[in-house]
Structure 1
Amino acid sequence: MAQSGDQVVDQIAQLNAARNLVLGDAAFYPQIVNGVLPIIGAHARVELRRWGSEFLAETFASPAFATTQKEQLAINVLQTVRNILELPEGDQLVLQNIAQTAASLYPLVFRHIINHPEDKQSWEHIEAIKQDILRRWDSFPCPVKVCCIKFAQRVVLAQTHGPIADPRRPDKNETSLAILPRNHAILSLPNLEAESSGLLDRILSVFHEDASDPILVNATLNCLATLVRTRQSVGNKIINAILNFFPARHARSPVTPAVRIGVKSMERTARAVFINIMKRNPSHPLAGKMQQHIERLMQSRIGHVDDTSRKRGLPTEPTDGLDAAKRARLDAETPPIIKVPPLPSGRISFAQLFTLTEDSGLSSFDVKQLPPDLVVKIAVPLLARVDQSLLSQAVDAIRMRYETVQKQQMAQPQPAAEEEDDDYEPEYQPMDVPGSAANEAGAVSAALQEEQPDLVSLGPFVLPRPPPLSEEQAAEAGRGAVARVFGMLGSTTLAPNLVKGQGQLGFSRLAGSTFDRDAWVTLLTRLATRAPAGLEGPKLEADYAGRRKPTISDTIRESLYRYILEDFRGRVNVGIMWLNEEWYNDRLQMKVASSNRAEDDEEVSVPLHYDHWVLRLLDGFLPYLDSRDTKIFIRFLSEIPEVTISIAKRITSLAKDPERVNLCVQSFMYLVMFRPPAREICLNALEEVYLTYEESRPSAGKVLSRWRPQRVEQLQAEQTTLVTRTVDSQTPSSTVTNGSRDPRTAHAAAY
């Protein structure tokens, strides 16, 4: 039955009285909240839901309300919050308050689930609320999006590793993954970390959009400041994202006052975030970049936005330093004016064109008599001290002389060809006297040869071809080139962050397009894999032992192998890229070989490299892995192109060390879940680990019970039978009645 307007007004007045009561004494919060929940539920009128959602947001954000009491009360509120959020009609004020309430509830419920893993219903409620908010985030209006950003920040805070103030009292530590036990019944540590990483990327995506709302950008920056201060694991990632953000790019023409104010607000907020970070941690490794970015923000704002607000620029100054009308008022010294002598009449030489002095001694002095080093010692200090005004006058005077000479030459009349022809009277030479004509032609050619310079008679000069290189010399030159390229890798920079919408092109990318470290690594891997493709003969595994002469491709592969092992944790990307290129090249060669076999009906052997080098890499870094390298190792296994039986055996060898059993099992669990082609191989290897190493049975049994439950029961039965037989075999034989022994001796031996 619908309530009348007067009844709603009376109820809101009573609810306001209850709010005033709890504001005066926070001890009444549990009683008042439990009392108003039936009134403000999903079936109440929108006015009551507005008041109730605002009251819940205010309750769980109140600093006067104890955290332990909030945690107990949060479980009672979850159902009501979920029902209100799932209503089809979306009131903006209600959604704002519900998102704020969910942001306060999430860390409380997260800690409650850590301490009470049996309460699955509460976790289902908070998961449903989280998924609903994240799913409808982009469709919400702007005020609700701001609250969603705050909710996402609280989720990332709870699902990342935070600092541990006192390991003996986890209840006093901050809510984070640091207080989550490894074998929790409900919460999975890898899943929570992956979700928080994706959610953080979604928060940072606002910096990559072409046209972002300044309100959302400012809200994101304010939330990220808390993450940088409290979560060191994601702090550098956030700072790098802000460093690549320039608010001036959001200024689109026409630059209206609203756009100008929005850009200024984003610039000031980003600057305030960096200033606060550097104030709290002056020795931050990225402090220099942050200071440079602050200055860059100021310059970009002035260049893009503040052009319209500037005053007019200064007037252009005259070229000689001062205007003639200002000299008298400023009492400035007038620059001296050089005297330019006129050019002589007749033909003008270059020396006369560039001579501005009337001193005959200087004009007749030959500078070629001085040695060049002395000329340099005299000219350089002289040019450094020359007066700029005098130099400008001299250049202008020579320019005017040159233009005058050009005009005079163009104005002079050219002699006509007809007049020359009239003056020319050739002598008659009879046709029957060839000897005289030949003598005359020989004399003319001799005269021409005397007039021509000696260089004309020289033929084309060709450098001699260098001697051919031997195989050893060519191999040595190739190894030297490879060593120089690997030396450059330490001095080159990493690739810049990709702009949104631009991804890596994979195998079709250009290796030399960016000239960064990734480009050089790509070039080296392709030189080792694609360049010798089709040129290598059939190889056996023993060829790698040294019976075959090493080629340039083998040199590059060996150098890549050593380069990766020098710092595997930091160069795992290089190893993944190299192994992908090797696998890709092997498959192409096999495809070409199969097509040739179909045409020629002859079996063609193909040299394969992927299996050999992936096993060498694993053998190289597996002895140095520990439990802290779980993410790096799982990433390596997830991004290599193929997991074989040999690779599974290498992973199994980790279980020999009791401290690395969990690393082995977690690696197999990831491969089983997310790499279906290798699932059977990994499950077989996991069974071997389960049977061989007793320390692995608790964790390995959970994985096998999910994917091979019948096999686990069989293994447990076999294990029980084996234990029974072992116990029976260890029973002392002296307890059996033996006529040849004294019963008392047998009884004593049994004990």
Structure 2
Amino acid sequence: MDSKNQLEQLKQAKSLAMNNHADQMLPKVLETTETLLVNALENNNNNPEDKECVNLTKFYVQLFSDLLNHPEIPTSELPFIAAKQIDTLSMICHLFKDPEILKISILTFSGIYPILIDLVAKTSNEKLWNTLQKFKKFITTRWKSYLVNGDSDSNNDLINDSKHIGCKLAIVKFMSQCIIVQTNKPQGQKDLALSKSNSPHGNYLYNINLSSIPDNHPVISDKQGLEAESKVLLGLLINYLIEEPMMVSSIFIGIINCLAFVMKERPQTTSRILSGLLKFNVDAKYQLDDTSAINYKLAKRYVERCYKNFVQFCVKNDLIKNSGSLAPFYSKLIKISQTLHIIGEETKGKGILNFDANQIENKINETEREKVLKYRLNIKQKYFNVNATTNSRGSSISTGSSTSNTTTNETPIPSSFDNQTQTLLNNLQNYAMSKNNVTGFFNTTPTARDNSYGAIFSLMNEVDSKQDLSQLPQDILSKLATEAIFKTTNTNLISGLSVVASRYTDLMAKQNSNNSNNKRKMENENKIDEQDNKKVKIEQVKNEENETKTEMIDELENDINEDFDVMKYLGKPKPMTSEYKLEMCKRIVKKIMALKENNLSPQLTGSNIESPLDQIKLLDWNNSKSWYHILIRLATRGTNVSQEISDMIREELLAYILTDFQKHISIVIEWLNEEWYSTYILKSDDSEVNNYEKWSLKILEDLVPFMENQHRRLFIRLMSELPRLEQAHFEKTKPILLDPGRSALGFQTLKFLIMFRAPVKDTIKVLLEEVLEQDSSLKEQIQPILEKYYTSA
């Protein structure tokens, strides 16, 4: 049978299945189509240009999309259907260049990404997780590639190629989906019902988010890296609105619409999104090449209307409130919305065709065009080339490389475990994951089946679950127990202890009853006429009873009092390896950084303390500052005996700073001053590494590419407040001086340092002379500085 007849038969089968028993027929049609497609590609040596393969692929991706949206397909079946097809869908995206195929494939992956993350969270399927991360990286790195298929022989960024706009909009939708899935759900936010009709990101959204995945998940282990990646993706979307110089109305509108749904699902992103929207200047966008004035005017009008609708949507849904920290945003955005409404009414009154073309046109000149090309190249290198190999902070700036590497290199269960221990832990994990919807304990009976410790303390149905924890090593059991106690709530802890206490009470009552029965039996059997013998027997029984009670009570008290010998059961602790120390330090740092988001009351004193367990919290805690004070001191003084641990803390600080360097500049200055004090004054660092020099240069290296002219005060403050400046520091700032768009920022900063920081004056002169040699066009800016400040009187 030829391919044309096969395709016609598949179309007929799809048409029949869509209206008759779709839940049974459509998955079969999809599997048949996949088999034929794979065979066709193999027969044609994976040639994406073959007409048969192209037609069959278009039918396959559209069928896959229709199946996922079909109302009769059970929601519970979607993850398994998607997991079977993910490899084929990924292969199609890598092979084909057809814009229609790519667009539908990316949109389909956008829809199945949450349900597959949910499947990995429940089944710990590492292979599926790695496939998802690779596929995600492939798509997100196309955001700033010059063509969707990965070619880089063109200077266009999809802005003049209308047939690829759909692909870029699909990538926007996918990135917004990643932001929602890879961000913690705020406490108290209600989950939407799982359905196929209430999702802004396709009709098959699952309510999966980072907060629903356990911190110690064996596969999704780098939750912090995933959340950092979501922040980077959000920054890419917002920065496109602000920094893209051309009027790409379709992309602007797509981003604004997606950001509205991101705000609705994850309110913690509101301030960042609204700050970006306020910087979005529609009037500053240039007219696309080969675009008429009327099309440019219409494009502006559509974007302005979208902007207005965004504000009205947010106000209507209480995403922007005229209170608290959002009040300034509310007043500004309302004014902008009203102004855009007035402009729209005036345009409608005059007529869209009634305008002066010369006043409307806004063509880009050649100088600005060169800046645009340089800006795009820098962004591409910054996000997708440089950091893809050097990023080790877990911030996933390379949009996925960090997270995928983490999950691939880390093993959930150490290889040092024997096969039996690994099997027991895997079985326990599978059992626990299958019961993740159960609240409370499985076994709450107040009576123990026997007097063993396992029967008294067990809150799990050992017979039904078939989990024999006694086979696990003592050190593993202690870790499981302490982790469970650490994670549990006060209510659950008290409830569990009450069950154990009831079992102890029941066992003691039974023991007392048995002793009484034994006493009566002994008295009846040993009655004698002689009074003396009777007294002796009675006294003997009393002594035995008291002795038994005393021994039992002593044993129980020894178990529950402070003199309980833990070492008798756990053995001598093993020395911690360097790898284990580093792992524990990472957890400690993570916990400290998490405090910045906890809303602990700063007046947690006296009667305000709800329970004795709350007394362990630090009093008068300042969440906004204290956490990084602690980390800075740990890195510079507390852990300097281990360079690896200290550098790990510094990496975490740097990753946090780079998420919003404008707000975190004070942390940078405090940190580097502590590094200088520790290195040059205390001289507490015995290693050969100069930590102040190393990390001050690294911070400049990471911050300089993002510095723009609007950051003048911030950059001047940073350079003037660094405790020590040397030639290497100025070398890191040289790219700003050589950049025509930012040179003013660099020269203003140097003038300030010349006037107010005399010790670096000679070093700056050397820098200016070097820059002048490299770029003679800067003579008009450099020569006046040299003549004014370096010419002797």
Query: TM-score normalised by the shorter chain: which range applies?
Result: 0.3 to 0.5
TM-score relative to the length of structure 2:
0.39
* Greater relative CO (CA pairs within 8 A, separation 6+): 2
Q: Which structure is larger by alpha-carbon Rg, 1 or 2?
A: 1
